[in-house]
Amino acid sequence: MTLIRRISPILTAGVLLLVLAVPAVAGPSTAPGKNPLLCSEALPENCTTNGKTATIDTTIGGGAAVYQEGFNSSWYGVKTGLVKTLSVTVTGDPLGIDPRWSIPIDDRNDPTAEAGFTDYFVFVAFGTCNDGAGLVDVINDPTCEIVTPNGTYPNWRTFTEANTSTYIALNDNYTFMIADGSGAPGVWTISNVKLGKPGK
Ligand SMILES: [Ca+2]
């Protein structure tokens, strides 16, 4: 299966539109557990990565985002109530909604996009989703707030139970972690990314 997936345009705190378009041909080209953590190419000076740990820095202006390259059949295209893992370790201080997971949602009852494609994104911010020691465990932490265009849910389970026709979008967008200056400039490291089952 060949899929083209990208990071969508992100609206910054101001009126600037940061186009974080990252065309990528996804495929099972890496061994299990080896999908590299990549920087968005939009503002490369704001992000460095060695494939496992990335540093995103918004102190010089603009945003930065990271994503795990490759197709993952235990995440993309899976019903939201059935996904098992989306977690990461972050160092640095939460600032507003930075940094945050941005997750593309395919709602089969929403005519905005056809099945498999993104109807909307939900956000999970480091500031409202962490264990106090930097672990952001979106799916399994019952205190992780899920922000959607239709309101905020207290955790992933309540989001999925209220939106039973939703899937992780399969065909168009990556799940990514971003800081874009919507809080205040900061520096964070992103590591130990677990998205579905590694390498699937
Ligand atoms: Ca839809």
120 alpha carbon – ligand 1 mean position (Å) = 9
Write the pLDDT tens digit of every residue in 95-119.
Answer: 999 999 999 999 999 999 999 999 9
47 alpha carbon – ligand 1 mean position (Å) = 32
105 alpha carbon – ligand 1 mean position (Å) = 9
Q: What is the pLDDT of residue 103?
A: 98
Burial (CB count <10 Å: 0-12, 13-18, 19+), residue 132:
exposed
113 alpha carbon – ligand 1 mean position (Å) = 4
Render each residue's pLDDT in the chain as its tens digit; 200 residues: 445 677 764 433 332 333 333 334 444 445 555 689 999 987 888 999 999 999 999 998 889 999 998 888 999 999 999 999 999 999 999 999 999 999 999 999 999 999 999 999 999 999 999 999 999 999 999 999 999 999 999 999 999 999 999 999 999 999 999 999 776 789 999 999 999 886 56
Q: Are strands 37-39 and 10-11 parallel, antiparallel or unpaired?
A: unpaired
Q: What is the pLDDT of residue 16?
A: 32
Stated as kind and residue range, the H or E segment containing 188 is strand 187-195
86 alpha carbon – ligand 1 mean position (Å) = 22
18 alpha carbon – ligand 1 mean position (Å) = 25
Tokens encoding 49: 């990565």
Q: What is the pLDDT of residue 112?
A: 97
Residues linked to residue 178 through DSSP beta bridges, in sequence order: 65, 100
193 alpha carbon – ligand 1 mean position (Å) = 28
Q: What is the pLDDT of residue 143?
A: 96
Helix then strand then coil, in percent of the chain rounded to 5, is 10, 40, 55
53 alpha carbon – ligand 1 mean position (Å) = 34
112 alpha carbon – ligand 1 mean position (Å) = 5
User: Please, what is the Cα angle at 32 between 171 and 102, to 5 degrees?
Assistant: 40
195 alpha carbon – ligand 1 mean position (Å) = 23
185 alpha carbon – ligand 1 mean position (Å) = 35
Q: Are strands 86-91 and 187-195 parallel, antiparallel or unpaired?
A: antiparallel
165 alpha carbon – ligand 1 mean position (Å) = 9
Q: What is the pLDDT of residue 71?
A: 82
108 alpha carbon – ligand 1 mean position (Å) = 4
Tokens encoding 57: 């820095």
